[in-house]
């Protein structure tokens, strides 16, 4: 299986190179982009990150020489099936609402003993499979929710408050360009240049848009939701958003709630 998929990579990259400019030229390009994605989904290069993440997850690592199998992602230690579909969630052991990346970082530090400043914990945006442990592990865990429905918990009051505050953030206009998330994501069928924008009121559109980690064809690497949020606030001309901060988790809590019942496609394939 692995060998077959490996051989498919040059084909996939070649297709992407050929198809990307065409998608821009097509009169109504979104249908075409969708087709392109469907065609390539079966040979998604993100599989390489999933394999490496699997190795990293089960290997005894770090100063404490233990694996991440004891890490609880909300459904019990080492239970990964459906874990990503049900995050962000409140974790009583830390007293925090955490998204997947933050929970991985927490366990790498607390269980495995990696220091906060170590590359293993800090490198989160990279162009290669080997570049970031966190991205690989997140891809592996995300893949265990593929085909399920987004179902962010709202059991604890703080989880519900994060969802509500995230909604307020979604509409908060600020910065020199006066932008909020609503600027681009509150009407159906709108595009920024050739890129179709999801509409926050359409469950399946949100579900697809927030299906990270995903292999981004244009970047040639897997990206996480942290990377996506950073790019949005950057283009909105806001100050940088910190992937370890609670505001970021609140926005994603709201978006996951907006996607509730829609499909989890991780690891997804994006333009």
Partner 1 sequence: MNHRMLKLAALGVSAAFLVAGTAHAGQENFGSATPDEIKQKGAELTPDQFAEWLIKESGSFYANTDHPFLSVDEQRARLDQDPTQAECSKYRNNPPDEVADEIRNRERARIPEPANGLELGDHEKGHDWALGGFGWRIGHNVDDHGERRPDGGCYNCHQIGPLIGDGGGTVGPSLREYGKMRGDGEDTRQFVWDVINNAHAYFPCSQMPRFTGLIDEDKIHDLMAYLLDPESPVNTGWED
Please report, as ranges, the residues that interact with partner 1 according to CB under 8 A.
21, 24-27, 29, 94-96, 117, 119, 122-127, 131, 157-158, 161-162, 164-169, 171-180, 182-184, 186-187, 189-194, 197, 218-219, 230, 233-235, 237-248, 250
- Taking the complex as a whole, how short is the minimal distance between the CB of residue 199 and partner 1, in angstroms? 12
Q: Which residues contact 256 (CB under 8 A, 6 or more apart)?
A: 87, 88, 150, 152, 210
Cis omega (within 30 of 0) for bond into 86: no
Nearest residue to 245 via CA among 88, 52, 102: 102
Q: Quick check: is 232 catalytic?
A: yes
- Taking the complex as a whole, how short is the minimal distance between the CB of residue 224 and partner 1, in angstroms? 13
Nearest residue to 151 via CA among 268, 265, 266, 262: 262
Nearer to partner 1, 87 or 264 (CB): 87
Residue 173 in 3-state DSSP?
coil
- Dmax over Cα atoms in the chain, in whole Å? 57
Nearer to partner 1, 54 or 101 (CB): 101
Measured CA to CA, the distance from residue 258 to residue 36 in angstroms comes to 26
Tokens 């990206």 -> residue: 223
Nearer to partner 1, 243 or 263 (CB): 243
- Taking the complex as a whole, how short is the minimal distance between the CB of residue 176 and partner 1, in angstroms? 5
Nearer to partner 1, 67 or 122 (CB): 122
- Taking the complex as a whole, how short is the minimal distance between the CB of residue 232 and partner 1, in angstroms? 11
DSSP tag of 72: B
- Taking the complex as a whole, how short is the minimal distance between the CB of residue 180 and partner 1, in angstroms? 6
Nearer to partner 1, 150 or 254 (CB): 254
What backbone phi and psi angles, to 5 degrees, belong to 258?
Answer: -65, -25
CA distances in angstroms from 146 to 20, 84, 212, listed in the order given: 26, 9, 11
- Residue pair 68/57 in contact by the 8 Å Cβ criterion: yes
Nearer to partner 1, 10 or 28 (CB): 28
- Residue pair 171/181 in contact by the 8 Å Cβ criterion: yes
- Taking the complex as a whole, how short is the minimal distance between the CB of residue 3 and partner 1, in angstroms? 29
Residues with catalytic function: 232
């Amino acid at each position: 299986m692995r060998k077959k998929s490996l051989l498919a990579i040059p084909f996939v990259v070649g297709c992407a190179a050929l198809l990307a400019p065409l998608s821009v030229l097509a009169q109504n390009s979104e249908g075409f982009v969708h087709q392109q994605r469907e065609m390539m989904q079966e040979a998604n290069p993100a599989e390489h990150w999933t394999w490496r993440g699997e190795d990293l997850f089960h290997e005894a690592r770090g100063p404490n020489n233990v694996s991440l199998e004891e890490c609880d992602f909300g459904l019990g230690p080492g239970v990964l099936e459906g874990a990503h579909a049900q995050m962000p969630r409140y974790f009583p052991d830390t007293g925090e609402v955490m998204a997947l990346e933050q929970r991985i970082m927490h366990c790498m530090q607390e269980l495995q003993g990696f220091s906060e400043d170590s590359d293993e914990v800090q490198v989160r945006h990279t162009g290669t499979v080997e570049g970031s442990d966190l991205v690989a592990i997140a891809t592996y865990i995300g893949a265990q929710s593929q085909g399920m429905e987004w179902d962010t918990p709202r059991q604890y009051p703080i989880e519900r408050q994060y969802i509500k505050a995230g909604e307020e953030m979604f509409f908060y206009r600020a910065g020199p360009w006066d932008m909020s998330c609503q600027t681009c994501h509150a009407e159906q069928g709108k595009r920024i240049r050739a890129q179709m924008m999801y509409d926050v009121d359409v469950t399946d559109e949100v579900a697809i848009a927030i299906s990270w980690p995903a292999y981004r064809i244009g970047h040639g690497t897997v990206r996480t939701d942290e990377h996506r949020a950073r790019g949005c606030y950057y283009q909105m001309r806001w100050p940088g958003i910190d992937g370890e901060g609670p505001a970021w988790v609140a926005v994603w809590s709201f978006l996951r709630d907006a996607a509730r019942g829609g499909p989890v496609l991780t690891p997804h394939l994006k333009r």
